[in-house]
Amino acid sequence: MQAFLAVMLLAGLALRSGGVVVNATIGLLVTFLPGILERDLGIPMDAGLTLWISAAVFLHALGTIAWPVIGKPYVSVWWWDHVTHALSASLVAGVGYSTTRAVDIHSDSVSFPPRFQFVFILLFVLAFGVFWEVIEFMIGLAADRTGTEGVLTQYGLEDSMLDLVFNTVGAVLVATYGSAQLSEVVDALTVRLAESREQ
């Protein structure tokens, strides 16, 4: 995935495509994040978590390229946008779940019952999703006004509502199954919180 994103970045530079360059650069940087989190912060990142993070940015970047036969997957493949939004939202939900669970375990003065945590994760993802849709809209307006290529594309209100629906799907999956997949991350964050309290 990293090699493909690096080639995509070089191709974007050669073709002077700002959208491809930005998406490839951000995607490539994010693929290094699991290694940094594990090395510098001691947060365990197994192959599954690393693939989860990398796949989200890889599929997004892949969807922005105009392919010879099918064109841009975001436009020509009806399910592409739904999958990438659900996957990205599940990452946001994973961050929300891991953080709140670690705080819950670490602090005696804070208690997040399971039902509250489920609702919190859903609201956290929905709030982030709305924020993202506003960013897409603003970038689209800026691109129209300046006559430049947009880095992100906003396809209208119906698309935004569908994006939020699939964001919710990703959030529900993590809120339901997150404890099994993210237990080591939660434990590591709890240890970090305890260490920072002692200092």
Model pLDDT for residues 80-125, shown as the tens digit of each residue: 988 998 999 999 899 888 988 888 888 888 888 888 888 888 898 9
The pLDDT score that the predictor gives to residue 140 is 77
Distances (CA, A) of 73 to 59, 61, 69: 10, 10, 10
Label residue 71 left, alpha or beta by phi (over 0 means left) and psi (-120 to 50 means alpha): left
Q: Where are the domains of the chain?
A: 1-76, 78-199
The pLDDT score that the predictor gives to residue 194 is 83
- Residue type for 83, please? V
Higher per-residue confidence, 35 vs 75: 35
The pLDDT score that the predictor gives to residue 152 is 67
Q: In 90-125, which positions are buried (b, 16+ CB within 10 angstroms) versus exposed (e)? A: bbbbbbbbbebbbbbbbeeeeebeeeebbeebbebb
The pLDDT score that the predictor gives to residue 116 is 86
Model pLDDT for residues 165-197, shown as the tens digit of each residue: 988 998 888 888 877 788 899 899 888 888 877
d(CA 16, CA 18): 6
The pLDDT score that the predictor gives to residue 150 is 65
Q: pLDDT band at residue 7, thresholds of 50, 70 and 90?
A: very high
> First CA to last CA across the chain, in angstroms?
39
